[in-house]
Structure 1
Amino acid sequence: MPARGKGVGRRKAQSDRLTNRKSTKDAVELSITTAAPDKSSLHAEVKHMRRNRSSRGVKPDPEAGKPTDRKSLVSGRLMDIGKGCSILGASEAGQFSGTVHFVTSLTQDAAFTLKGTIVFDQVDENIGGAYNPDTGEFTAPVSGFYLFTVQVMVTGGPGQEYELKCEDSAYSTRVRVESAWSTGSGTAVCHVREGHKVKVIKYYGPAGSLRQSPWTRFSGFLLRES
Protein backbone atom coordinates (compact mmCIF):
# COMPACT_ATOMS: atom_id res chain seq x y z
CA MET A 1 0.00 0.00 0.00
CA PRO A 2 2.69 2.59 0.76
CA ALA A 3 4.34 1.97 -2.68
CA ARG A 4 1.02 2.38 -4.43
CA GLY A 5 0.38 5.60 -2.56
CA LYS A 6 3.69 7.03 -3.74
CA GLY A 7 2.84 6.18 -7.38
CA VAL A 8 -0.52 7.89 -7.09
CA GLY A 9 1.15 10.95 -5.60
CA ARG A 10 3.63 11.21 -8.48
CA ARG A 11 0.90 10.94 -11.10
CA LYS A 12 -1.11 13.65 -9.35
CA ALA A 13 1.91 15.96 -9.28
CA GLN A 14 2.51 15.42 -13.01
CA SER A 15 -1.16 16.12 -13.71
CA ASP A 16 -0.94 19.35 -11.72
CA ARG A 17 2.13 20.49 -13.67
CA LEU A 18 0.41 19.85 -17.03
CA THR A 19 -2.64 21.75 -15.83
CA ASN A 20 -0.46 24.70 -14.78
CA ARG A 21 1.34 24.72 -18.18
CA LYS A 22 -1.97 24.75 -20.06
CA SER A 23 -3.26 27.56 -17.88
CA THR A 24 -0.11 29.60 -18.54
CA LYS A 25 -0.37 29.01 -22.32
CA ASP A 26 -4.03 30.03 -22.33
CA ALA A 27 -3.16 33.17 -20.40
CA VAL A 28 -0.42 34.16 -22.88
CA GLU A 29 -2.69 33.58 -25.88
CA LEU A 30 -5.38 35.63 -24.20
CA SER A 31 -2.99 38.50 -23.56
CA ILE A 32 -1.72 38.47 -27.18
CA THR A 33 -5.26 38.44 -28.53
CA THR A 34 -6.26 41.25 -26.23
CA ALA A 35 -3.16 43.38 -27.10
CA ALA A 36 -3.65 43.14 -30.90
CA PRO A 37 -6.02 45.94 -31.94
CA ASP A 38 -8.17 45.60 -35.04
CA LYS A 39 -7.87 47.91 -38.08
CA SER A 40 -10.90 49.98 -37.19
CA SER A 41 -9.41 50.95 -33.84
CA LEU A 42 -6.13 51.94 -35.52
CA HIS A 43 -7.94 54.21 -38.02
CA ALA A 44 -9.86 55.80 -35.16
CA GLU A 45 -6.64 56.48 -33.26
CA VAL A 46 -5.00 58.11 -36.33
CA LYS A 47 -8.01 60.39 -36.84
CA HIS A 48 -7.89 61.34 -33.19
CA MET A 49 -4.19 62.29 -33.45
CA ARG A 50 -4.85 64.41 -36.55
CA ARG A 51 -7.65 66.29 -34.79
CA ASN A 52 -5.32 66.97 -31.86
CA ARG A 53 -2.63 68.36 -34.19
CA SER A 54 -5.12 70.70 -35.84
CA SER A 55 -6.38 71.90 -32.49
CA ARG A 56 -2.81 72.75 -31.42
CA GLY A 57 -2.29 74.93 -34.50
CA VAL A 58 -0.04 72.52 -36.37
CA LYS A 59 -0.61 73.01 -40.09
CA PRO A 60 -0.79 69.94 -42.28
CA ASP A 61 2.02 69.39 -44.76
CA PRO A 62 0.76 70.49 -48.23
CA GLU A 63 3.38 68.27 -49.88
CA ALA A 64 2.13 65.14 -48.14
CA GLY A 65 0.78 62.58 -50.53
CA LYS A 66 2.45 64.06 -53.59
CA PRO A 67 4.54 61.78 -55.82
CA THR A 68 8.23 61.71 -54.97
CA ASP A 69 9.62 59.98 -58.01
CA ARG A 70 13.31 60.53 -58.90
CA LYS A 71 12.59 62.82 -61.84
CA SER A 72 10.49 65.25 -59.82
CA LEU A 73 13.03 65.31 -57.00
CA VAL A 74 15.93 66.08 -59.38
CA SER A 75 13.90 68.81 -61.11
CA GLY A 76 13.14 70.40 -57.77
CA ARG A 77 16.81 70.37 -56.75
CA LEU A 78 17.87 71.98 -60.03
CA MET A 79 15.28 74.72 -59.63
CA ASP A 80 16.56 75.44 -56.11
CA ILE A 81 20.17 75.57 -57.31
CA GLY A 82 19.24 77.85 -60.21
CA LYS A 83 17.72 80.41 -57.84
CA GLY A 84 21.10 80.98 -56.17
CA CYS A 85 23.37 80.93 -59.22
CA SER A 86 24.28 83.49 -61.88
CA ILE A 87 25.85 83.06 -65.30
CA LEU A 88 29.46 84.12 -65.76
CA GLY A 89 29.54 87.60 -67.25
CA ALA A 90 25.94 88.44 -66.31
CA SER A 91 25.18 91.52 -64.23
CA GLU A 92 22.29 93.63 -62.94
CA ALA A 93 19.65 94.86 -65.35
CA GLY A 94 20.70 97.88 -67.38
CA GLN A 95 24.43 97.10 -67.20
CA PHE A 96 26.79 95.27 -69.51
CA SER A 97 25.76 91.61 -69.57
CA GLY A 98 28.12 89.94 -72.05
CA THR A 99 31.08 87.64 -71.57
CA VAL A 100 34.50 88.98 -72.60
CA HIS A 101 37.03 86.33 -73.61
CA PHE A 102 39.74 86.23 -76.26
CA VAL A 103 42.48 83.78 -77.29
CA THR A 104 45.08 84.76 -79.92
CA SER A 105 48.32 83.47 -81.41
CA LEU A 106 50.64 83.89 -84.42
CA THR A 107 49.94 82.43 -87.85
CA GLN A 108 53.69 82.18 -88.54
CA ASP A 109 57.08 82.90 -86.93
CA ALA A 110 57.58 86.65 -86.69
CA ALA A 111 60.21 89.14 -85.48
CA PHE A 112 59.27 92.38 -83.72
CA THR A 113 61.22 95.57 -82.99
CA LEU A 114 62.25 96.65 -79.49
CA LYS A 115 59.34 98.33 -77.65
CA GLY A 116 57.07 97.33 -80.51
CA THR A 117 53.63 95.80 -79.98
CA ILE A 118 53.32 92.07 -80.64
CA VAL A 119 50.48 91.74 -83.13
CA PHE A 120 48.83 88.37 -82.58
CA ASP A 121 47.16 87.98 -85.94
CA GLN A 122 45.46 84.61 -85.42
CA VAL A 123 42.24 84.96 -83.44
CA ASP A 124 41.05 81.65 -82.01
CA GLU A 125 38.30 83.23 -79.91
CA ASN A 126 37.06 86.80 -79.48
CA ILE A 127 33.82 86.82 -77.50
CA GLY A 128 32.78 90.45 -77.08
CA GLY A 129 34.97 91.63 -79.98
CA ALA A 130 37.37 93.46 -77.67
CA TYR A 131 40.62 92.29 -79.30
CA ASN A 132 41.87 93.90 -82.52
CA PRO A 133 44.11 91.58 -84.61
CA ASP A 134 45.25 94.53 -86.74
CA THR A 135 46.82 96.45 -83.83
CA GLY A 136 47.41 93.63 -81.31
CA GLU A 137 45.54 95.59 -78.63
CA PHE A 138 42.70 94.59 -76.32
CA THR A 139 40.25 97.42 -75.54
CA ALA A 140 38.10 96.94 -72.45
CA PRO A 141 34.38 97.15 -73.34
CA VAL A 142 33.53 97.71 -69.66
CA SER A 143 35.45 98.69 -66.53
CA GLY A 144 36.39 95.70 -64.42
CA PHE A 145 38.98 93.21 -63.28
CA TYR A 146 40.51 91.16 -66.09
CA LEU A 147 42.86 88.19 -66.14
CA PHE A 148 45.49 88.14 -68.91
CA THR A 149 48.01 85.44 -69.88
CA VAL A 150 50.97 85.65 -72.25
CA GLN A 151 53.15 82.76 -73.43
CA VAL A 152 56.13 83.09 -75.77
CA MET A 153 58.70 80.86 -77.45
CA VAL A 154 61.73 82.41 -79.14
CA THR A 155 63.63 80.83 -82.04
CA GLY A 156 66.87 82.74 -81.50
CA GLY A 157 68.58 85.48 -79.50
CA PRO A 158 68.92 84.57 -75.79
CA GLY A 159 67.80 86.85 -72.98
CA GLN A 160 64.65 88.26 -74.58
CA GLU A 161 61.96 89.87 -72.44
CA TYR A 162 58.32 90.57 -73.28
CA GLU A 163 56.00 92.73 -71.24
CA LEU A 164 52.23 92.62 -70.67
CA LYS A 165 51.20 96.28 -70.40
CA CYS A 166 47.90 97.40 -68.85
CA GLU A 167 47.16 101.05 -69.54
CA ASP A 168 45.65 101.65 -66.10
CA SER A 169 48.31 99.83 -64.07
CA ALA A 170 51.60 101.19 -62.76
CA TYR A 171 52.92 97.63 -62.73
CA SER A 172 53.61 95.23 -65.54
CA THR A 173 54.20 91.53 -66.03
CA ARG A 174 57.39 90.52 -67.83
CA VAL A 175 58.29 87.19 -69.38
CA ARG A 176 61.96 86.39 -69.88
CA VAL A 177 63.28 83.66 -72.17
CA GLU A 178 66.92 82.72 -71.58
CA SER A 179 67.69 80.63 -74.66
CA ALA A 180 66.46 79.81 -78.15
CA TRP A 181 63.58 77.38 -78.45
CA SER A 182 62.64 77.96 -74.84
CA THR A 183 59.30 79.20 -73.55
CA GLY A 184 58.17 81.57 -70.85
CA SER A 185 54.76 82.63 -69.59
CA GLY A 186 53.14 85.07 -67.22
CA THR A 187 49.69 85.89 -65.83
CA ALA A 188 48.33 89.14 -64.44
CA VAL A 189 45.05 90.41 -62.98
CA CYS A 190 44.49 94.07 -63.90
CA HIS A 191 41.77 96.60 -63.28
CA VAL A 192 41.07 98.16 -66.68
CA ARG A 193 38.72 101.06 -67.26
CA GLU A 194 36.28 101.05 -70.15
CA GLY A 195 38.00 102.06 -73.40
CA HIS A 196 41.52 101.53 -72.07
CA LYS A 197 43.98 99.14 -73.67
CA VAL A 198 46.13 96.12 -72.86
CA LYS A 199 48.91 94.75 -75.10
CA VAL A 200 52.17 92.79 -75.20
CA ILE A 201 55.42 94.49 -76.25
CA LYS A 202 59.02 93.39 -76.77
CA TYR A 203 60.70 94.96 -73.75
CA TYR A 204 64.33 93.89 -74.04
CA GLY A 205 66.73 91.64 -75.92
CA PRO A 206 68.52 91.01 -79.20
CA ALA A 207 66.84 90.29 -82.50
CA GLY A 208 64.92 87.06 -82.64
CA SER A 209 61.63 85.65 -83.80
CA LEU A 210 58.64 84.42 -81.86
CA ARG A 211 57.38 80.92 -82.67
CA GLN A 212 53.96 80.59 -84.28
CA SER A 213 50.84 79.00 -82.77
CA PRO A 214 50.42 77.20 -80.43
CA TRP A 215 53.72 78.10 -78.68
CA THR A 216 53.12 81.86 -78.57
CA ARG A 217 49.75 83.11 -77.27
CA PHE A 218 47.96 86.07 -75.73
CA SER A 219 44.59 85.61 -73.99
CA GLY A 220 42.32 87.15 -71.38
CA PHE A 221 38.83 87.34 -69.95
CA LEU A 222 36.66 89.47 -67.71
CA LEU A 223 36.56 88.33 -64.07
CA ARG A 224 33.98 90.85 -62.87
CA GLU A 225 32.77 94.37 -63.51
CA SER A 226 33.57 97.28 -61.22
Structure 2
Amino acid sequence: MEQYFKVVVTLVLLAIGCQAQHNLTTGQLHSRVRELEENLASLAKLVDMQKSQAVPANNVVSGFEKKGSVRIGNGFTLGTSNTGEVGFHVSLTDDVPLDWGMKLPFDTIVENIGEAYNKAAAEFTCPISGTYLFSLNIACKKDSYVEISVEISNGSYSPRYILNTVCDHRKRALLGGGSLYCGNTQNGGTAIVSLAQGEKVTVKRLWPRNGSGTVILGGGFSTFSGYLLRTP
Protein backbone atom coordinates (compact mmCIF):
# COMPACT_ATOMS: atom_id res chain seq x y z
CA MET A 1 0.00 0.00 0.00
CA GLU A 2 3.02 2.26 0.41
CA GLN A 3 3.35 2.37 -3.35
CA TYR A 4 -0.30 3.43 -3.70
CA PHE A 5 0.24 6.19 -1.11
CA LYS A 6 3.15 7.52 -3.15
CA VAL A 7 0.98 7.49 -6.24
CA VAL A 8 -1.76 9.43 -4.41
CA VAL A 9 0.73 12.05 -3.23
CA THR A 10 2.05 12.42 -6.74
CA LEU A 11 -1.46 12.83 -8.13
CA VAL A 12 -2.32 15.40 -5.45
CA LEU A 13 0.70 17.43 -6.42
CA LEU A 14 -0.31 17.19 -10.03
CA ALA A 15 -3.82 18.26 -9.05
CA ILE A 16 -2.43 21.29 -7.20
CA GLY A 17 -0.54 22.20 -10.32
CA CYS A 18 -3.76 21.87 -12.31
CA GLN A 19 -5.52 24.13 -9.79
CA ALA A 20 -2.89 26.77 -10.30
CA GLN A 21 -3.31 26.55 -14.05
CA HIS A 22 -7.09 26.22 -14.24
CA ASN A 23 -8.19 28.13 -11.08
CA LEU A 24 -9.89 25.07 -9.49
CA THR A 25 -11.57 25.68 -6.13
CA THR A 26 -10.50 23.80 -3.01
CA GLY A 27 -13.75 21.83 -3.06
CA GLN A 28 -13.20 20.81 -6.67
CA LEU A 29 -9.67 19.75 -5.84
CA HIS A 30 -10.85 17.60 -2.91
CA SER A 31 -13.44 16.00 -5.17
CA ARG A 32 -10.75 15.11 -7.73
CA VAL A 33 -8.52 13.60 -5.03
CA ARG A 34 -11.39 11.46 -3.61
CA GLU A 35 -12.17 10.21 -7.10
CA LEU A 36 -8.54 9.22 -7.62
CA GLU A 37 -8.41 7.49 -4.24
CA GLU A 38 -11.49 5.40 -5.10
CA ASN A 39 -9.96 4.34 -8.41
CA LEU A 40 -6.72 3.35 -6.69
CA ALA A 41 -8.61 1.35 -4.05
CA SER A 42 -10.39 -0.60 -6.81
CA LEU A 43 -7.05 -1.23 -8.49
CA ALA A 44 -5.53 -2.50 -5.21
CA LYS A 45 -8.42 -4.98 -4.76
CA LEU A 46 -7.87 -6.27 -8.31
CA VAL A 47 -4.13 -6.77 -7.69
CA ASP A 48 -4.82 -8.65 -4.42
CA MET A 49 -7.31 -10.91 -6.22
CA GLN A 50 -4.77 -11.76 -8.94
CA LYS A 51 -2.10 -12.53 -6.32
CA SER A 52 -4.42 -14.95 -4.52
CA GLN A 53 -5.09 -16.82 -7.79
CA ALA A 54 -1.41 -17.10 -8.81
CA VAL A 55 0.20 -20.59 -8.75
CA PRO A 56 3.36 -20.83 -6.60
CA ALA A 57 6.50 -21.48 -8.64
CA ASN A 58 7.27 -24.72 -6.80
CA ASN A 59 3.85 -26.08 -7.77
CA VAL A 60 4.36 -25.58 -11.51
CA VAL A 61 4.46 -28.96 -13.31
CA SER A 62 6.48 -29.45 -16.47
CA GLY A 63 4.78 -30.26 -19.76
CA PHE A 64 6.09 -33.83 -19.72
CA GLU A 65 4.73 -34.44 -16.22
CA LYS A 66 1.29 -33.11 -17.09
CA LYS A 67 0.94 -34.90 -20.40
CA GLY A 68 3.10 -37.97 -20.50
CA SER A 69 3.83 -39.35 -17.05
CA VAL A 70 2.00 -41.54 -14.58
CA ARG A 71 2.54 -40.65 -10.94
CA ILE A 72 2.94 -43.21 -8.16
CA GLY A 73 3.05 -41.37 -4.86
CA ASN A 74 5.60 -38.61 -5.30
CA GLY A 75 7.52 -40.30 -8.13
CA PHE A 76 7.02 -41.60 -11.65
CA THR A 77 6.67 -45.03 -13.17
CA LEU A 78 9.74 -46.84 -14.41
CA GLY A 79 10.88 -45.44 -17.71
CA THR A 80 10.69 -41.74 -16.88
CA SER A 81 12.97 -39.46 -14.93
CA ASN A 82 11.77 -37.17 -12.14
CA THR A 83 11.05 -34.51 -14.76
CA GLY A 84 9.46 -36.82 -17.33
CA GLU A 85 12.61 -36.77 -19.49
CA VAL A 86 13.43 -39.92 -21.50
CA GLY A 87 16.64 -40.55 -23.39
CA PHE A 88 19.52 -42.98 -23.88
CA HIS A 89 22.90 -43.28 -25.59
CA VAL A 90 24.62 -46.66 -25.88
CA SER A 91 27.64 -48.04 -27.72
CA LEU A 92 29.28 -51.34 -28.62
CA THR A 93 32.25 -52.34 -26.48
CA ASP A 94 33.73 -55.24 -28.49
CA ASP A 95 33.60 -56.32 -32.13
CA VAL A 96 30.49 -58.44 -32.74
CA PRO A 97 29.81 -60.97 -35.56
CA LEU A 98 26.25 -60.18 -36.63
CA ASP A 99 24.00 -62.82 -38.20
CA TRP A 100 20.69 -62.12 -39.94
CA GLY A 101 17.88 -61.16 -37.55
CA MET A 102 20.26 -60.77 -34.64
CA LYS A 103 19.92 -57.77 -32.34
CA LEU A 104 23.00 -55.62 -32.10
CA PRO A 105 23.91 -55.89 -28.40
CA PHE A 106 24.92 -52.37 -27.42
CA ASP A 107 26.38 -52.99 -23.98
CA THR A 108 28.05 -49.75 -22.91
CA ILE A 109 25.47 -47.39 -21.46
CA VAL A 110 26.69 -43.81 -21.73
CA GLU A 111 23.32 -42.32 -20.73
CA ASN A 112 20.01 -43.93 -19.77
CA ILE A 113 17.62 -41.23 -18.55
CA GLY A 114 14.51 -42.98 -17.26
CA GLU A 115 16.08 -46.47 -17.45
CA ALA A 116 14.04 -47.38 -20.54
CA TYR A 117 16.94 -49.04 -22.38
CA ASN A 118 17.49 -52.67 -21.35
CA LYS A 119 21.09 -53.78 -21.95
CA ALA A 120 20.36 -57.47 -21.37
CA ALA A 121 17.56 -57.48 -23.96
CA ALA A 122 19.35 -54.99 -26.26
CA GLU A 123 16.17 -52.98 -26.66
CA PHE A 124 14.48 -49.72 -25.75
CA THR A 125 10.90 -49.98 -24.44
CA CYS A 126 8.83 -46.83 -24.95
CA PRO A 127 7.62 -45.66 -21.50
CA ILE A 128 5.57 -42.67 -22.72
CA SER A 129 3.68 -42.31 -25.99
CA GLY A 130 5.13 -39.45 -27.98
CA THR A 131 7.49 -38.28 -30.70
CA TYR A 132 11.03 -39.64 -30.47
CA LEU A 133 14.32 -38.94 -32.18
CA PHE A 134 16.63 -41.91 -32.91
CA SER A 135 20.18 -41.83 -34.19
CA LEU A 136 22.26 -44.80 -35.36
CA ASN A 137 25.94 -44.99 -36.27
CA ILE A 138 27.48 -48.28 -37.46
CA ALA A 139 31.07 -49.21 -38.36
CA CYS A 140 32.09 -52.57 -39.82
CA LYS A 141 35.40 -54.39 -40.17
CA LYS A 142 37.17 -55.35 -43.38
CA ASP A 143 35.43 -57.75 -45.78
CA SER A 144 32.05 -56.94 -44.23
CA TYR A 145 28.87 -55.87 -45.98
CA VAL A 146 25.70 -55.37 -43.96
CA GLU A 147 22.41 -53.48 -44.02
CA ILE A 148 21.30 -52.50 -40.53
CA SER A 149 17.84 -51.30 -39.52
CA VAL A 150 16.14 -49.77 -36.51
CA GLU A 151 13.07 -51.94 -35.89
CA ILE A 152 9.89 -51.08 -33.98
CA SER A 153 7.49 -53.77 -32.76
CA ASN A 154 5.19 -54.73 -29.91
CA GLY A 155 4.63 -58.41 -30.70
CA SER A 156 1.12 -57.96 -32.12
CA TYR A 157 1.94 -56.69 -35.63
CA SER A 158 4.63 -56.95 -38.27
CA PRO A 159 7.64 -54.84 -37.30
CA ARG A 160 8.22 -51.52 -38.99
CA TYR A 161 11.62 -50.23 -39.98
CA ILE A 162 12.30 -46.54 -39.51
CA LEU A 163 15.97 -46.26 -40.34
CA ASN A 164 18.13 -48.33 -42.69
CA THR A 165 21.85 -47.91 -43.20
CA VAL A 166 24.55 -49.71 -45.20
CA CYS A 167 28.05 -50.51 -44.03
CA ASP A 168 30.30 -51.76 -46.86
CA HIS A 169 33.99 -52.46 -46.26
CA ARG A 170 34.85 -54.81 -49.13
CA LYS A 171 37.71 -54.79 -51.60
CA ARG A 172 37.21 -53.10 -54.95
CA ALA A 173 39.08 -54.12 -58.08
CA LEU A 174 41.40 -51.50 -59.51
CA LEU A 175 41.99 -50.75 -63.16
CA GLY A 176 45.17 -52.43 -64.23
CA GLY A 177 44.86 -55.10 -61.57
CA GLY A 178 44.95 -55.33 -57.85
CA SER A 179 42.30 -54.30 -55.33
CA LEU A 180 41.72 -51.80 -52.57
CA TYR A 181 39.53 -51.64 -49.49
CA CYS A 182 37.08 -48.78 -49.85
CA GLY A 183 33.41 -47.95 -49.48
CA ASN A 184 31.27 -46.88 -46.54
CA THR A 185 33.14 -48.34 -43.60
CA GLN A 186 31.01 -46.25 -41.23
CA ASN A 187 27.48 -45.08 -41.82
CA GLY A 188 24.30 -44.11 -40.02
CA GLY A 189 21.32 -41.82 -39.92
CA THR A 190 18.62 -40.11 -37.88
CA ALA A 191 14.85 -40.60 -37.75
CA ILE A 192 11.90 -38.96 -36.01
CA VAL A 193 8.98 -41.27 -35.27
CA SER A 194 5.82 -41.49 -33.15
CA LEU A 195 5.81 -44.35 -30.63
CA ALA A 196 3.08 -45.82 -28.47
CA GLN A 197 3.74 -46.82 -24.89
CA GLY A 198 5.13 -50.36 -24.71
CA GLU A 199 6.58 -50.50 -28.23
CA LYS A 200 10.11 -51.88 -28.43
CA VAL A 201 12.95 -50.45 -30.50
CA THR A 202 15.94 -52.59 -31.51
CA VAL A 203 18.78 -52.56 -34.04
CA LYS A 204 19.00 -55.63 -36.31
CA ARG A 205 20.75 -56.98 -39.36
CA LEU A 206 18.33 -56.61 -42.24
CA TRP A 207 20.43 -57.88 -45.17
CA PRO A 208 21.92 -60.17 -46.40
CA ARG A 209 19.69 -62.91 -45.08
CA ASN A 210 22.36 -65.57 -45.22
CA GLY A 211 26.08 -65.79 -45.01
CA SER A 212 28.46 -64.82 -42.26
CA GLY A 213 31.60 -62.77 -42.02
CA THR A 214 29.87 -59.54 -41.07
CA VAL A 215 31.59 -58.03 -38.05
CA ILE A 216 30.40 -54.81 -36.43
CA LEU A 217 33.18 -52.69 -34.99
CA GLY A 218 33.15 -51.98 -31.25
CA GLY A 219 35.33 -49.62 -29.28
CA GLY A 220 32.69 -46.91 -29.30
CA PHE A 221 32.58 -46.62 -33.11
CA SER A 222 29.06 -48.09 -33.28
CA THR A 223 26.41 -46.20 -31.28
CA PHE A 224 22.64 -45.94 -30.84
CA SER A 225 20.70 -43.08 -29.24
CA GLY A 226 17.10 -42.03 -28.63
CA TYR A 227 15.31 -39.09 -27.02
CA LEU A 228 11.72 -38.11 -26.30
CA LEU A 229 10.96 -34.83 -28.10
CA ARG A 230 7.35 -34.29 -27.06
CA THR A 231 4.25 -36.04 -25.75
CA PRO A 232 0.81 -35.96 -27.44
8 A Cα contact 2:129 2:196, kept in partner:
yes
SS in 2 for 1:203: strand
Aligned to 2:17: 45
Structure 2 residue corresponding to 1:209, chosen from 210, 215, 222: 215
TM-score of the pair, normalised by structure 2? 0.58
TM-score of the pair, normalised by structure 1? 0.60
Considering only aligned residues, what root-mean-square deviation do their CA atoms show, in Å?
Answer: 3.6
SS in 1 for 2:132: strand
The letter of the residue matching 1:132 is N
Cα distance in 1, alignment partners of residues 29 and 143 from structure 2? 89
Structure 1 residue corresponding to 2:70, chosen from 95, 100, 107: 95
- Aligned-residue offset at 1:87: 4.1
Aligned to 2:122: 136
Gap change, CA 1:53 and 1:102, over 3 Å in 2: farther
Greater alpha carbon shift after TM alignment, 172-181 vs 100-109: 172-181
Show structure 2 runs of 5+ residues with no match: 1-12, 20-27, 45-56, 77-83, 171-183
Gap change, CA 1:45 and 1:171, over 3 Å in 2: same
- Aligned-residue offset at 1:53: 7.1
The letter of the residue matching 2:128 is V
Cα distance in 1, alignment partners of residues 68 and 144 from structure 2? 51
1:75-120 per-residue CA deviation (whole Å, 9 max, x = no partner) reads xxxxxxx79x974633249736621111100111212111211010
Aligned to 2:135: 149
1:138-158 per-residue CA deviation (whole Å, 9 max, x = no partner) reads 111122222111111111235
**More strand per residue:** 2
Structure 1 residue corresponding to 2:102, chosen from 101, 110, 116: 116
Aligned to 2:203: 200
Gap change, CA 1:52 and 1:171, over 3 Å in 2: farther
Structure scoring higher RCO (CA < 8 A, sep ≥ 6) equals 2
- Aligned-residue offset at 1:121: 0.8
SS in 2 for 1:178: strand
Show structure 1 runs of 5+ residues with no match: 1-40, 63-81
Gap change, CA 1:88 and 1:133, over 3 Å in 2: farther
Cα distance in 2, alignment partners of residues 150 and 51 from structure 1? 77
- Aligned-residue offset at 1:207: 2.1
Gap change, CA 1:195 and 1:118, over 3 Å in 2: same
8 A Cα contact 1:166 1:190, kept in partner:
no
Number of positions where the alignment pairs a residue of Structure 1 with one of Structure 2: 168
Aligned to 1:218: 224
8 A Cα contact 2:148 2:204, kept in partner:
yes
The letter of the residue matching 2:189 is G
Percent identity reads 25
Gap change, CA 1:94 and 1:50, over 3 Å in 2: farther
